[in-house]
Amino acid sequence: MVMFALPIMAVNLLQLVFNAADMIVVGRFEGARALAAVGATGSLFNLIVNLFMGLSVGTAVIVAQDYGARRVEGIRQSVHTSIAVSLIGGGVATAIGLSFCAPLLRWMGTPEDIIGLSTLYMRIVFAGMPASMVFNFGAAILRAVGDSRRPMYFLVVSGAVNVVFNLFFVAVLRLGVAGVGWATVISQYLALILIMISLSRQEGALRFQWQRLKIHRQKLVQLLRIGVPAGLQSVLFSISNVLIQSAVNSFGTTMVAASAASSNVENLVATPMNAYYQAAITFTGQSMGAEDYDRIDRIAKNCTALVFVTWLILGGITLSFGRTLLAFYTTDPAVIELGMRRMKVLMSLYFTCGIMNVFPGLTRAMGYSVLPMLSTLVGACLLRIVWLATVFRLYPTQLVLFAVYPVTWTIAGLGQVASFFYARSRIRKRAVLSQGQAEAAI
């Protein structure tokens, strides 16, 4: 699992570095106002695209299960259905983003001195959404069969291009947030080209062929059954984050910039957790296809250990060098001080965030996707809304606002673990029943 997760971790870290490059370049060359303008879009961007990105989880599961069961035609249909869905999803996400980003940013209470720049940045970035969608679905296909390296290579190339264009557009041409946006779009379409070339050159059932591009009804149903609840979970989670961002906005532009920079630094710990989530989906999905249920228990134990060790090591490093890392984004001492204030609160129980994120991968790969969604809905989303409406309203301080994260991570994490054990018991009972029926038939 570690060897499989390392390239995914590298991919996530590269994405973090390249996304951070946007923030660093614009913050250094354009100042805290531009940094806040880009940072203020993150939660809203995730809200719009996460439903469609969640469908890629369905792709990972159905391809992994077909691969584990050696269903050749099933793999072929899963690949082409997934790419077709990603193309449609990318187009729909772009249309929604271009149409609603401005009113939603205003509804969130984005400060007036940055809302124009935030709207400009979002509209440019959404032009690259179809490319981003296809790349994520294509990467999910490769990872489902154990290839986590090539997506990493493709992101190295596209990310390097992103950094070069960031510097050229912002430092040389002085395009500000628009330059950062266009650099992102260019890199996304380059990644699209690379992933499609790779899939077109695959051997056997994994090979993508344009003439086979078609949505197969059975595969679409399977993909949606896993992917829609996963996407809804991400959307619900994003809604709660949008509300939190609105509360952050109420503290002014300096706090918005500090929260954006701190969030990027905190992702140094979050990205390995996402890698374990992807590994859990692939290993558990293949185990389900091969009907090796004992292996799923070992996967769960390994995931838990990896999450805890990662939190201890990377969380400690992040807190120890937090001021230095924040200084990459801005030289404003007020922004750095506020960023550290947020970081100390979130890092205190960050391993619970890892548990909350990783265990849904195990449960979904077993075919149970609604349970993780409900756990997130109740444990994270609804509780965050209640927290903002009650505790934060009574004590409207930055400390109370950011405490909502570890509190809800812990409760949602417990729900995700319970969901896993429920799905595990159901799978084992079903296996025993099937074995009994087979023996009776003999």
Quick one: pLDDT at residue 108? 73
Quick one: pLDDT at residue 15? 67
Percent residues over pLDDT 90 in the chain = 19
Residue 438: which pLDDT band, with cuts at 50, 70 and 90? low
**For residue range 351-389, what is the model confidence (pLDDT) as tens digits?**
998 898 889 888 988 888 788 888 888 887 889 889 999
Is it the case that residue 148 has pLDDT exceeding 80?
no
Is it the case that residue 27 has pLDDT exceeding 90?
no
Is it the case that residue 303 has pLDDT exceeding 80?
yes
Quick one: pLDDT at residue 391? 93
Segment 8-21 shows an average pLDDT of 69
Domain span at residue 304?
2-441
Quick one: pLDDT at residue 30? 75
Residue 403: which pLDDT band, with cuts at 50, 70 and 90? very high
Quick one: pLDDT at residue 265? 85
Segment 227-235 shows an average pLDDT of 78
**Higher pLDDT pick, 47 / 119:** 119
Residue 49: which pLDDT band, with cuts at 50, 70 and 90? confident
Segment 63-85 shows an average pLDDT of 86
Segment 340-350 shows an average pLDDT of 90
Quick one: pLDDT at residue 305? 92
**For residue range 105-114, what is the model confidence (pLDDT) as tens digits?**
888 777 888 8
Is it the case that residue 338 has pLDDT exceeding 70?
yes
Total domains present in the chain: 1
Quick one: pLDDT at residue 340? 92
Quick one: pLDDT at residue 371? 86
Residue 437: which pLDDT band, with cuts at 50, 70 and 90? low
Which of 140-144, 196-200, 300-304 bottoms out in mean pLDDT, i.e. has the lowest?
140-144
Q: Label each residue of 106-155 as H, E or C.
A: HHCCCCHHHHHHHHHHHHHHHHHHHHHHHHHHHHHHHHHCCCCCHHHHHH
Residue 225: which pLDDT band, with cuts at 50, 70 and 90? confident
What are the residues whose beta carbons fall under 8 Å from the beta carbon of 334, sequence distance 6 or more?
254, 258
Is it the case that residue 440 has pLDDT exceeding 70?
no
Overall pTM > 0.85: no
Tokens 């087979």, residue? 438
Task: State the average pLDDT for the chain.
Answer: 84
Region for residue 204 given its phi and psi (left: phi exceeds 0; alpha: psi -120 to 50; beta: otherwise) = left
